[in-house]
Chain A
Amino acid sequence: MRTCVPPLVSSSPGTSARPPDAGHTVGATWTEAPCPVLVVDRHGGLVDVNGAARILLPGAVSGDWLHEHVPSWLCDAHRRITDGPRPADAAPLSGPIRERHFEAHPTAAGDGGVVWWLVDDTDRRLAEAALTDAQTRTEILSHVSSTLLSTLNVPRCMEVTASMAAEHLADAAVLVGPAKGWRQSLTYAVRGGPVSQVVQMVDVSGVPGLTEALQGFPPVPARWINPDDIPDWVTPDGFAGPVGSVIVAPLPGHGVPAGALILLRSSTEQSFSEGEEVFARLFAARAGAALSAARLYSEQATVTATLMRELLPPALTSVHGVEYAGGYRAAKDHERVGGDFYDVHPGSDPSQDTLVVLGDVAGKGLDAAVLTGKIRNTLHALLPLTDDHQRVLDLLNGALLSSRHARFVTLVLASVRRRGSRAQLRLTSAGHLPPLIVRADGTVEDVPSHGTLVGALPAVTAHTVRTVLGPGETCLLYTDGITEARGGPLGDEFFGEQRLRRALAECAGLPAEAVVERVQMLAAQWLGAGRHDDMAAVAISVPRSGPLTVLNGRAGVSNRRST
């Protein structure tokens, strides 16, 4: 049994005086106590009340019954106490009296009576409740922000927004996205249930305030919205209807509205308070910011991808009995394009030449890539003239010459035609590293073509070389990014032409893809994490007809695969 006022009371204003110990008499000082004090006999009759109690309970005088003046929670408590000792772990007694809220602390009086000390905790409770609400809301907002900020995917952002709104703000939430033509993207969430997304035609004007919210106008107060006016499409499946109250909150975007959020509570729940409405708007602001960031990102990414598609190296495959394979790595690993490029333009039929181009524009990144796009388009237009490489280079040179800068391109042209089991090649290097040829026996040859770089000088000259590839032989066109890969075990050496030749010597008889992959892998591993230029390689191979040469002791020192 609690016999004295707990320390809590001493911190409340006006109750610093420790009440007199339980005794047969109650000292006179209690009458001066600022908190209401009631002395009640064991039958529930009021023995005495102090001044503060008279203010609280006007008309209460000695001789009245307790239950005539106080609510039942206190009367019940009194009866329990006089019936027997309170368990030690009993919760503190508290409850409302006349619009205020009190903790009631009993002390024993004479003859089994009880002195009730009533401590007003109304303001503390209000403050505590407000604090808890504020904390919870801050936590919710912070959770919403961090969850939404982690994704730049629009459907995912909508899903998270609807689901969190249903979780924390309402019984159900509907996120109405900006219109796509005549249709609206709708994301439905019910508390504790799944989230569903649909795109359909709905009449947004049927929801009071929704049209305005979607246009970014200030929201219509919730109390103006009659739940009976809400059309059926708004209520998600699984909502324990009917709808009792509704909030329509705009999702403010970066300049353009990101949609609107409809919050629903069923009629069995309390309707939205003004505080909740304000909070819903804060929530919607966070969600709107995240959603428009995601929308902006995906629009940009889509635009970039569309533009980039033209600049990306093409996928290569077999054409008219000759295998082609290409590999590309941009200088900056976060970019996909750069100054190196290649193309294979198939001959219109097997009797026609297929044109292979591999080149390197001075510079890096998007700037260089844009120039490669121009060059690739020009060369495509010049395809009918490729019988004469020099003429193609002349025309390309004329097209690229600019008074504004001295940017140039170096490139290799290869015209390829299958003849029987072999392929005939015409190769022209315009200021570019000459191609290398791997013969069936593993010999690596230079192609002695040379010529002027293109696009910076008034005239170019070039020397075309003819050669033939037999079955299992490969011609490799490559850019200097490969031979100039700097790294290796000692960290500062060039990969160099010698290593490239050694690697190629092991590639006799391999399919074109395997040659390119091998070369790319060795160069990449040579680099490690080091910085590098754009790297590109194209292999032109005549498929082998017979089986691979049977292996012998060659699988010795030369048979190494770097990590």
Chain B
Amino acid sequence: MTNLHPTEFTVTVYRTAGTLTVRVAGELDYDTSDGLTDMVTRHLTAEAGLSDLRLDFRGLTWIDSTGLTALLTLHRRAAAVGATLHLDHRPDVLERMLRLTNVLEHLTAPASRAGTPDRQEGDATGTSVH
């Protein structure tokens, strides 16, 4: 468990069996998005055998377009290790943004180890698990 932004923004990571659960609370925006991406990427690459990445947004108070970029990036990273992304407990602000940009279906599509929906193979952040 790590606090990134003690007063406004927190990311809490739990590991159970094949699932990595990440609780995101506070404002996911220009200032905090990189922190979330980096931390979750670290866990995804360090821990083998993950089948699901659950982002739990019950404590999310705000998300902007950079926050959405973070979700798109995490989706790529999860797919790269064969894990399916889940967006749980979505507050209105997130729901509205996902609807407006039409990406919910894409983000939460089941991952398959064989093929991944994006062309993330050459991802510069380089997950070594392939």
Contacts and interface: CB of A to CB of B under 8 A. Distances in A.
User: A–B direct touch, CB within 8 Å, in complex?
Assistant: yes
Interface of A: 360, 362-364, 401, 403-408, 410, 431-433, 450-453, 456-458, 460-461, 480, 484, 533
Contacts of B30: 363-364, 533
B72 A456 contact: yes
A452 B65 CA distance: 13
Given A403-B118, A405-B124, 12 more contacts: A363-B65, A401-B119, A403-B121, A405-B73, A410-B65, A431-B103, A432-B100, A452-B103, A456-B69, A457-B106, A458-B117, A533-B30
A453 B118 contact: no
26 contacts: A362-B65, A362-B69, A363-B65, A363-B66, A364-B30, A401-B119, A403-B119, A403-B120, A404-B123, A406-B72, A408-B65, A408-B69, A408-B72, A408-B101, A410-B100, A432-B100, A452-B102, A452-B103, A453-B68, A453-B102, A456-B103, A457-B106, A457-B118, A458-B117, A458-B119, A480-B64
Nearest to B70: A406
Q: Is the interface of A mostly helix, strand, loop or mixed?
A: loop
B6 interface: no
Nearest to A331: B30
A432 B88 CA distance: 24
A431 B119 contact: no
A451 B72 CA distance: 17
Contacts of A410: 65, 100-101
Contact of A431 (B64, B101, B122): B101
A360 B102 contact: no
Interface string B65-80: 1101100110110000
Interface in B42-80: 64-66, 68-69, 72-73, 75-76
Contacts of B64: 480, 484, 533
Contacts of A403: 118-124
A415 to B, nearest CB: 21
B65 A404 contact: no
Contact of B100 (A431, A456, A533): A431
A235 to B, nearest CB: 61
Contacts of A456: 69, 72, 103
B100 A362 contact: no
Contacts of A484: 64
Interface in B105-121: 106, 117-121
Nearest to A452: B102
Contact of A360 (B65, B76, B123): B65
A373 to B, nearest CB: 18
Given A360-B65, A363-B30, A403-B122, A452 B76 contact: no
Contacts of B121: 403
B21 to A, nearest CB: 22
Contacts of B66: 362-363
Contact of B68 (A362, A364, A460, A461): A362
Nearest to B107: A457
Contacts of B123: 403-404
B100 A406 contact: no
Nearest first, the 4 A-B pairs at minimum CB distance are A406-B72, A431-B101, A362-B65, A452-B102
Contacts of A404: 122-124
B117 A451 contact: no
A401 B117 CA distance: 13
Contact of B76 (A406, A408, A453, A461): A406
A401 B123 CA distance: 12
B128 to A, nearest CB: 16
A406 B37 CA distance: 11
A449 to B, nearest CB: 11
Which residue among B72, B73, B120, B122 has the maximum number of chain A CB atoms within 10 Å of its CB?
B72
A360 B101 CA distance: 12
B68 to A, nearest CB: 7
Contacts of A452: 101-103
Contacts of B73: 405-406
B69 A407 contact: yes
A450 B72 CA distance: 19
B57 to A, nearest CB: 18
Contacts of A460: 102
B7 to A, nearest CB: 15
Contacts of A480: 64-65
Nearest to A433: B100
B5 to A, nearest CB: 16
A453 B101 contact: yes
Nearest to A362: B65
Contacts of A450: 100, 102
A431 B102 contact: yes
B103 A453 contact: yes
B63 to A, nearest CB: 11
Nearest to A432: B100
Nearest to A363: B66
Given A364-B30, A406-B76, A458-B117, A451 B69 contact: no
B32 to A, nearest CB: 14
